[in-house]
Amino acid sequence: MPVEKTRPVSFACVEERDPQLDRDAVFEANDSLAAAKMAVRSLDLYYKDFHALHDVTLEFPEKQVTALIGPSGCGKSTLLKTLNRMNDLVEGCRVEGDVLLDGADAYRTLDPCVLRRRVGMVFQQPNPFPMSVYDNVAYGPRTHGVKRRAELDEIVEESLRRAAIWDELKDRLKKSALGLSGGQQQRLCIARALAVNPEVLLMDEATSALDPISTAKIEELVGEIKRDYTVIMVTHNMLQALRVSDKTAFFLLGDMVEAGPTEELFTTPKDQRTADYVEGRFG
Amino acid sequence: MSFGGTLREGVAHVVLAATAAVSIAAVALICVFLFANGIPGIAQIGLPDFLFGMTWRPGNDIYGIFPMIVGSVYVTAGAIVVGVPAGILCAIFLSRFASGRIASLMTPCIELLAGISSVVFGFFGLVVIVPLIRAMHPGSGLSLLAAALILGFMILPTIITVARNSLDAVPASYYEGSLALGATHERSVFRVLVPAAASGIIAGIVLGVCRAIGETMAVVMVAGNQVLIPSSIFDGVRTMTANIVLEMGYAAGLHREALIATGVVLFVFVLVLTLVVNTIKKRGEAR
Amino acid sequence: MTWYVSNPATLRKVTLGPASDDSGRFEAPAHTTSALALRGLVYVAAFVVMMAFLLIMGYVLANGLPALTPDLFAWEYTSANVSLMPALVNTLLMAFLSLLLAVPIGVGAAIYLVEYAKRGSRFVALVRMTAETLQGIPSIIYGLFGLLFFVSMLHWGLSLLSGACTLAIMVLPIVMRTSEEALLAVPDSYRQGSFGLGAGRLRTVLRCVLPSALPGITGGVILSLGRCVGEVAALIFTAGSIAAIPDFAGQGIFALFDSARTLAVHMYVLASEGFHIQEAYATALVLLVLVALLNAGASALTKRLRKDN
């Protein structure tokens, strides 16, 4: 049964380090990392013996879209799942280094449930729960203690509006979410994620299972919601990264090769490997 | 292909179709024999008198099985109260809480429980549960409570296995989606996975009910078998199955037909339950 | 909005992104009491189920082991030795006979459903429906039917044969379902490979599909065997309760018409008579060991099946 959340993730030096000291060190030594909305510092990740991420240090600026690109198997999705501890579910997964949220150590000082509320996620395959549209969106707020009906109604409407799907769904809130089209399902999942008011939204190739029209709608939506949220997206589509993101990081075989403003990375890459990859794709 | 080959294929096809038809023939035969031998009895007794009669006195040719119908329903309801919560929670444990090692230790135990003969359960009830009840409450201890406890225990493996299979079949993406919203493991399991597996879990419960209402030997051994509607859980009770097994050995004439008719009533109960299970399953598949 | 992190080590104000007036709307879930209560409930349920299981096992073992005496395994049953040996032999005979009937029919039906029948034909739907119905019928109904049909109508009397035929119908759906699952699990590429070499359907099934499905089918057979071993209600009015092994040496095939008490029936008789409680414990233990052995065999087969695929 691979779903035991209670199993502690082995985390390097968790016992030996004094968490107070550690956090102070983070605040003092890494001003720029601490200032970013979210950041990783010297992050190494292993799946059993496989070394999947090598010493990654990267910051995700607030209210911007950061795109993670690279060939498949390069570790970009792995990094994304590390940010909200979804990697805890993978047996044999070990994380070393720091994940910072507002400069605080997200792994040692935050309960995973709190971390995941603050750092929401949209998955590659739309995964609405087998319940009504309303219950899907209300699930998160209910989880976090909202009980009053009026308040839930308000959150559901606001979240669906933010995900630009209120007009399509307002008349079928009581219908099963499984009856929606793939694109609608994915926007519903975005609404569901927004309903708990996260600070960061992770998107794991959220458009790869969708048709071009739905993809365009979601890209437009990301442009909208970045005014309020910090978005980190993994994409296999470099044009999408170029269209949507403010900052891009390029990964290759578990290394972060290069990161910088999207325009710069695509037009004047500093690393030859980035240049090869970007050009290879663009022909 | 040679002519001999074609002939052989043809014969094989016919023979195999015939073996498939055996189950149809079996159900048809069972229905025909049961109804043909039971209905005349019911006709002679009168359907209302038979179904709703409160007295069962074969010596005077009075055959009312209402206390037995109520007995079967009570005993089954008791088994549900005892077995269903424990069974479902145990299935949830095995599917979503137990580590691989604990699950692989417990699974063979559940399978063994499923394979144990009902006489062994009945005997265990007779020598352990019944004396315990006797110590708690004046009387023989042979009671509705004893039957419900034993039956509740007996339907556990059915419920656990079916409910666990349907929980295991829930897509991992539901669980991940819930977790990613900041829900705890427990909330994700109880509010997302369990509702998603509901049709399978309910099918498991109905199958358990099917087993409980049809169980004979274990009930006969611990229920006391008085033909009375029990007024408390410490009273004895006779089920339809017990009625058949207790008296069939020596019954003749109308008495025998009344016992077969009891079987017909039980058969109808079970057919309805089977129909319910199939409908639930179909609805689950359609989703 | 203002957000308070529950962990006192990091208690501080954080201003969240979207400006809305839902301050204090969410509580930190952390490991709330309800989550802990649910987890406790699940663990308690699993614990109670296991305890009940261990209690029944332990009880039968503790009382059955001392009651096992050499007398119990004497070849002939007498009211003095209360031997369970004839019942044990009868159980094996009964199970063997009923499987002899049920396995060819059940496997044949499964082959027909998987390899021959057109999907969605009315005949197939009817076969499946009746098989599901058979599976739900309680054993006492099988007993009644066996009494009416085999015992009375066919004049086979309370006999090994009547009992075996009754049990055969009872386990038929189990054999059918497990065989069907095993056949469905055989990859289509096997069939295509065989057809591609010019083999006919029958040859493909017999030479190619059936051997790969054999472990699964055997698992179903073992399951049915377990059901035969433990059955009472279906046998008490069809096979009777004479505690002797049918005399095949003297009567030949006609010994099939002798009454035969199986182990489970033996146990029921002992327990309900109430004179031989020690012997009943011992019989319970033997029944338990038989079922445990059968289960172990079945799970060994499933393990091999998984390894092969």
pLDDT at B146: 96
Q: Which among C17, C20, C30 is the nearest to A114, CB-wise? A: C30
> Among residues C78, C89, C88, C72, which one has the least CA distance to residue C247?
C89
Q: Which among A114, A158, A228 is the nearest to C5, CB-wise? A: A114
So what's the ipTM on this one?
0.90
CA distances from A232 to A68, A70, A203, A245, B203 (A): 8, 14, 6, 9, 43
Do B287 and A123 count as a contact with CB atoms less than 8 A apart?
no
Judge whether residue A171 has pLDDT over 80.
yes
Query: What is the C-alpha to C-alpha distance for residues A129 and A134, in angstroms, rounded to an integer?
Result: 11
Q: Which of C4, C5, C13, C14 to mutate to test the interface with A (most CBs of A within 10 A)?
A: C5
The model's confidence at residue A281, banded by pLDDT at 50, 70 and 90, is low
Do C49 and B108 count as a contact with CB atoms less than 8 A apart?
no
* Element (DSSP H or E) covering residue C35: helix C33-67
The predicted-structure confidence for A259-278, as pLDDT tens digits, reads as follows 999 999 999 999 999 998 88
Is A19-282 assigned to CATH 3.40.50.1100? no
Identify whether the C-beta of residue C260 lies closer than 8 Å to the C-beta of residue C246: yes
A215-221 — which CB contacts under 8 Å span 24+ positions?
A: A215/A183, A215/A240, A217/A164, A217/A183, A217/A187, A218/A183, A218/A186, A218/A187, A218/A190, A219/A243, A219/A244, A220/A164, A221/A163, A221/A164, A221/A187, A221/A190
Do B180 and A139 count as a contact with CB atoms less than 8 A apart?
no
Q: Which of B90, B104, B117 to mutate to test the interface with C (most CBs of C within 10 A)?
A: B117
Instruction: Decide if A80 touches B, using CB distance below 8 A.
Output: no
Judge whether residue B242 has pLDDT over 90.
yes
The model's confidence at residue A83, banded by pLDDT at 50, 70 and 90, is very high
pLDDT at B286: 64
Which of 21-60 (C) contact A at CB < 8 A? 22, 25-31
Q: Which of A115, A147, A197 to mutate to test the interface with C (most CBs of C within 10 A)?
A: A197
The count of other CB atoms within 10 Å of the CB of residue B46 is: 13
Identify whether the C-beta of residue A235 lies closer than 8 Å to the C-beta of residue A241: yes
pLDDT at C6: 32
Q: Mean pLDDT in chain A? A: 85
Q: Scanning every residue of chain C, which has its alpha carbon at the shortest distance from the alpha carbon of B220? A: C272
**Homologous superfamily assigned to C75-308:** MetI-like (1.10.3720.10)
Which of 24-83 (B) contact C at CB < 8 A? 24, 26-27, 29-30, 33-34, 37
Tell me the chain A residues in contact with residue C3 when contact means C-beta distances shorter than 8 Å: 118
% of chain A surpassing 90 pLDDT: 58
Judge whether residue A13 has pLDDT over 50.
no
Give the CA angle between residues C44, C45, C50 to the nearest 5°. Answer: 95
Do B182 and A140 count as a contact with CB atoms less than 8 A apart?
yes
The predicted-structure confidence for B115-148, as pLDDT tens digits, reads as follows 899 999 999 999 999 999 999 988 888 999 999 9
Structure tokens that stand for B74 in this block: 């009570």
Structure tokens that stand for A142 in this block: 């209910």
Tell me the nearest-neighbour CA distance from C7 into chain A, angstroms.
Answer: 7
Tell me the nearest-neighbour CA distance from A265 into chain C, angstroms.
Answer: 27
Amino acid at B196: A
Identify whether the C-beta of residue B245 lies closer than 8 Å to the C-beta of residue B220: yes
Q: Is C81 left (phi over 0), alpha (psi -120 to 50) or beta?
A: alpha
Helix C263-273 crosses helix C210-230 at what angle (to 10 degrees)? 20
Judge whether residue A19 has pLDDT over 80.
no
Query: What is the C-alpha to C-alpha distance for residues A99 and C218, in angstroms, rounded to an integer?
Result: 53
Structure tokens that stand for C37 in this block: 């209560």
Do C230 and B116 count as a contact with CB atoms less than 8 A apart?
yes
pLDDT at C26: 59
Domains belonging to chain B, first-starting first, are 52-286 (1.10.3720.10)
The model's confidence at residue B2, banded by pLDDT at 50, 70 and 90, is low
The model's confidence at residue A145, banded by pLDDT at 50, 70 and 90, is confident
The predicted-structure confidence for B188-221, as pLDDT tens digits, reads as follows 999 999 999 998 899 899 999 999 999 999 999 9
pTM comes to 0.86
Chains that touch C (3 or more CB pairs under 8 A): A, B
pLDDT at C163: 95
Q: Is the dihedral of CA C95, C96, C99, C100 positive or negative?
A: negative
Number of A:C CB contacts under 8 A? 67
pLDDT at C208: 85
Instruction: Decide if C285 touches B, using CB distance below 8 A.
Output: no
Query: What is the C-alpha to C-alpha distance for residues C171 and B104, in angstroms, rounded to an integer?
Result: 27
Q: Scanning every residue of chain B, which has its alpha carbon at the shortest distance from the alpha carbon of C300? A: B108
pLDDT at C25: 53
Tell me the nearest-neighbour CA distance from B60 into chain C, angstroms.
Answer: 24
Q: Which of C43, C103, C148 to mutate to test the interface with B (most CBs of B within 10 A)?
A: C148
The model's confidence at residue A31, banded by pLDDT at 50, 70 and 90, is low
The ranges of chain C with pLDDT < 70 are: 1-31, 305-309
Tell me the nearest-neighbour CA distance from B157 into chain A, angstroms.
Answer: 19
Do A20 and C7 count as a contact with CB atoms less than 8 A apart?
no
Query: What is the C-alpha to C-alpha distance for residues A199 and C26, in angstroms, rounded to an integer?
Result: 14
Helix (H, G, I), strand (E, B) or coil at C86: helix
% of chain B surpassing 70 pLDDT: 98
Structure tokens that stand for B260 in this block: 């077969």
Query: What is the C-alpha to C-alpha distance for residues C224 and A118, in angstroms, rounded to an integer?
Result: 54
Amino acid at C156: W
**Which residues sit opposite B217 in a β-bridge?**
none
Do B185 and A6 count as a contact with CB atoms less than 8 A apart?
yes
Tell me the nearest-neighbour CA distance from C254 into chain B, angstroms.
Answer: 24
